Amino acid sequence: MERRKLEKKNPELKKKRQAENVPMTIDNTRAYDPSMVTVPSGLHPKSTILAEFSARSKSTVPIKESSTVGSSEPSGSKVTQDPNPAPPPAVPAEFMDPEHAADIANDPFAAYFDPDSERDPSEPPKVLITTSPYATAPTWAFCDELVGVFPGAQFFKRKKKSFRSNAPPLGTIAGWAVKRGYSSLIVVNEDHHKPNALTMIHLPAGPTAYFKLTSVELTREIYGHARASPHYPELVLNNFVTRLGHAVGRMFQTLFPPMPEFEGRQVVTLHNQRDFLFFRRHRYMFKSTERTALQEIGPRFTLKLRSLKTGLPSNNPLGAPMKPLEMAKEDEEPEQQYPHIVEEVAKSEDNGEAGNSGGEDEEAEEESARVEKEETKRDEKKGARKGEEFAWAWNPRMDFKKRNFYL
Amino acid sequence: MQSDDVIWEIVGKSHCSFRVKVPEKNQQFCRNAYNLTGICNKRDCPLANSRYATVREREGVIYLYTKTIERAHLPSKMWERVPLPNNYMKALEMIDSELLYWPDYMIHRCKQRITKITQYLIKMRRMKLSNAPKVVPIKKKLDRREARREAKALRAAHIEKAIEKELIERLKTKAYGDQPLNVNEDIWKQILDAEKGKEKLDAELEDEDELDEEHELEEEEEWDGREFVSDDSESEFGGLSDLEDMEPAQDDEEDKSNDDGSEEEGDTGSPRRKRPPKTSLGKRKAIDDAKRPRKRGARVEVEYEEEQELVDPQKESIPSW
């Protein structure tokens, strides 16, 4: 009570007190990650991140905090000499992760961000939206909403297994989409008649991101929602800090046309908080120089990154045709050619007459098949199919430390 | 000494760890991995039979396991394992040869197992080729934990505030260009003026200030001497009162006094100017002074009457726009 009275008289005291007693939250005491590219905003004064940087800094480089990765900024002839909002202050070069430079060099999204490319900035990138096989109405409803969100989007239902052919796998579909000029593929996965996961595939050869999808609310379920217009939206990407986070943020950017139509006053936000990506779409209006009014349009959902693969989904090499049979050469003795077979024959001879099936070649293939099976089993435990590599994969053991975040 | 009957008396009739009962149907099953049929009875019990044979599959290879009484005292070497050939017919022949002179019942059951195992292996291989969806188990505990964390993250996020902040930042740093389409004219002017005010504060030289004022006056000259005058009596008799206020006001650049006063200072400027002191140049005084933001420093506020109906940003009755 007394303190309150004092502070009422002198607001400076309150500011001083608040500056001294900054509460520690999970977000502002986040664990340091060497793959951080931008410094997270709102850090606690005693945060380990700041401590790390200050410990390693040779010069007194002031580390400014950032909130956004980047935004769809006006580029092109429409606005000349436009001072874009300051790019998020990067971690000083001296302690930037050396792998980050490699990332920048091998950027899979270069085609989108390249200012000299021939593509028309006013044309939206084509996005193909589909579902997992045999999806149902709730998923289609969500997909229809997505079609409204992304300006260049088209929705197609997944092709079913027919008399002539199997249901085409994702890898095949990705191939078709590339041929038809799509730049991204979004697959909404369904489970128990609800959309539960989202796969974002950047097309020419780009990364595949698999997200868990939760808290889906369609437009009609939002009370007091605004009506969307076909204007290209602005993007706000909040709190993407690490290299992985940047990759995901930029992947999201490539789904939208690079040049937004500001007269539409629509914002699409992907806000990262503790590795949960909250997607929102609003219509905004500046009420004054300090306040904005936001009215929510469109679907609302949460994504959580489960894995990021560097390539396209594999096109099922398990079904590849077997290698042609190699006939034994007459010169060489069988023992030299197939030493492993000789072993096996010896073993089986101990147990009685085990007639070797026709041709030593089959046995060779059996052996190699068995070895391969072991390897694929090991990989499959990690979740990858043959031919796929994870750039990043989540597993439950990552959740034990509360302050470790990866985006 | 091994006595099967004694074992069965205990295991079969009193307690066996491997037994699973289905009371509704009066059935008993055996969970022992070596059981030939999976049913709990004396004939099929691997514990109560010192001579026993099974077929089991491991990683795609089918094995024949045999147990004889000669090895009953060596538990670690009790079961003899033989891999059966991949070829189905050959495997059946091998069973016949291995289990020669064994009870027909066991041979028959072993062959049945080989058949079933071969069939399901074929099916597994075919399924792998067909790109069946990967079935992942639902982990309730993890799902619950993640849902809670998501809710907390949402609360910590303050999404709308963050969006507002970002948009305002973009507005202020002029990311939308010089003539933005998404802002109200009033608000945009406020921002521009705020910037100009800031510039003026930064500039320490008086010359710079005068230059600014001269530019402003030049703009006003285009009005051909027209004036908009309000009912306010002070401004009507501009002249003397302006001159009186001039000198002290000029010294204080950071004077936070009346808007009226500051405006007039802006007009009249330095005494070097020969133009008659004008009252309010090209201005229309706002009715509500409180609404006009307080500004520091000498500045001209140019307000125009708009013919179009302005959408009042304060109105909340507009559902969508």
Total domains, chain B: 4
pTM above 0.90, yes or no: no
Q: Choose from A10-14, A312-316, A341-345 the range with maximum mean pLDDT.
A: A10-14
Indicate whether A79 pLDDT > 70: no
* Interface touch A357/B169, C-beta < 8 Å: no
Greater confidence (A364 vs A294) lies with: A294
Measured CA angle at B133 (ends B129, B137), to 5 deg? 130
Residue B293 lies in a domain: no
Residue B152: its chain A contacts at CB < 8 A? 274
The Cα-based distances of B235 to B225, B229, B262 in angstroms read: 16, 8, 13
What residues of chain A, 228 to 257, have a C-beta less than 8 Å from chain B? 236, 238
Topology of domain A122-309, CATH = Rossmann fold (3.40.50)
CA distance from start to end of chain B? 94
What is the mean pLDDT of the segment spanning A390-403? Answer: 88
For A351, other C-beta atoms within 10 Å of its C-beta total 16
Q: Which of A236, A278, A304 sits opposite B166 (nearest CB)?
A: A236
Counting every residue, how long is chain A? 407
> Cα separation of A140 and A129, whole Å?
10
Q: How far does A113 lie from chain B, in Å, by closest CA?
A: 18
On whether any CB of chain B is under 8 Å from the CB of A376, the answer is no
Q: What is the mean pLDDT of chain B?
A: 78
Lowest model confidence (mean pLDDT) among A187-196, A335-344, A351-360, B4-13: A351-360
Question: Of A100, A110, A104, nearest to A242 (Cα)?
Answer: A100
Which pLDDT belongs to residue A235? 95
The DSSP call for residue B287 is S
φ/ψ of B145, rounded to 5, equals -65, -45
Mark whether B64 and B101 lie in a shared domain: yes
pLDDT at A60: 47
Q: Which residue among B94, B98, B128 places its CB closest to the CB of A318?
A: B128
Residue B162 falls within a domain, yes or no?
A: yes
Q: Do B177 and A226 touch (CB under 8 A)?
A: no
Q: Does A346 touch chain B (CB under 8 A)?
A: no
Better-scored residue on pLDDT, A338 or A204? A204
- pLDDT score recorded for residue A328: 67
Which domain does B166 fall in, by range? 142-173
CA distance linking residue B125 with residue B259, whole number of Å: 85
- Within 8 A of B60 by CB-CB distance, chain A residues are 370, 373
| Mutation to test the A interface, candidates B182, B195, B196, B310, most A Cβ within 10 Å | B182
Residue A183 has pLDDT above 70, yes or no: yes
> Looking at the domain assignment, is residue B19 inside a domain?
yes
Q: Pick the residue from chain B with its C-alpha nearest to A369.
A: B60
pLDDT, average across residues B155-164 = 95
Nearest beta carbon to residue A267 from set B163, B187, B313 = B163
Q: Which tokens in the block code for residue A277?
A: 């990506």
**CA-to-CA dists, residue B321 to A260, B1, B182, B311, angstroms:** 18, 94, 12, 10
pLDDT in tens, B108-147: 999 999 999 999 999 998 887 777 777 889 999 999 999 9
Instruction: Answer left, alpha or beta for residue B32, where phi above 0 means left and psi between -120 and 50 means alpha.
Output: beta
Among the partner-chain residues A167, A238, A262, the one whose CB lies closest to the CB of B181 is: A262
Best interface-test mutation with A: which of B131, B181, B196 has the largest number of A CBs within 10 A? B131
Q: Output B52 or B307, whichever has higher pLDDT.
A: B52
B152 and B113 together in one domain = no
- Please indicate whether residue A280 or residue A362 has the higher confidence score (pLDDT): A280
Mean pLDDT of chain A: 80
Q: Is the pLDDT of residue A353 over 80?
A: no
The larger pLDDT score, comparing residue A404 to residue A355, is at: A404
Q: Residue A382 above 60 pLDDT?
A: no
Going from N- to C-terminal start, the domains of chain A cover: 122-309
Q: Which residues of B touch A68 (CB under 8 A)?
A: 166
Q: With 70 as the cut, is the pLDDT of residue A174 above it?
A: yes
**Pick from A225-234, B41-50, B87-96, B204-213: least confident:** B204-213
**In a domain? residue B232:** no
What 3-state class would DSSP assign to B28? strand
Structure tokens at A272: 């990262």
Residue B317's pLDDT band (cuts 50, 70, 90): low
Q: In this structure, are B6 and B33 located in the same domain?
A: yes
- What percent of chain A shows pLDDT beyond 70? 72
ipTM, two decimals, is 0.76
Q: pLDDT tens across B217-244, in order?
A: 555 555 566 777 777 555 555 445 444 4
**What's the pLDDT tens digit per position in B50-99?**
999 999 999 999 999 999 999 999 999 999 999 999 999 999 999 999 99
CA distance A222 to chain B (A): 14
Q: Which of B159, B175, B180 sits opposite A271 (nearest CB)?
A: B159
- What per-residue confidence (pLDDT) applies to A65? 43
* Higher pLDDT, residue B21 or B202: B21
Q: What is the pLDDT of residue A349?
A: 58
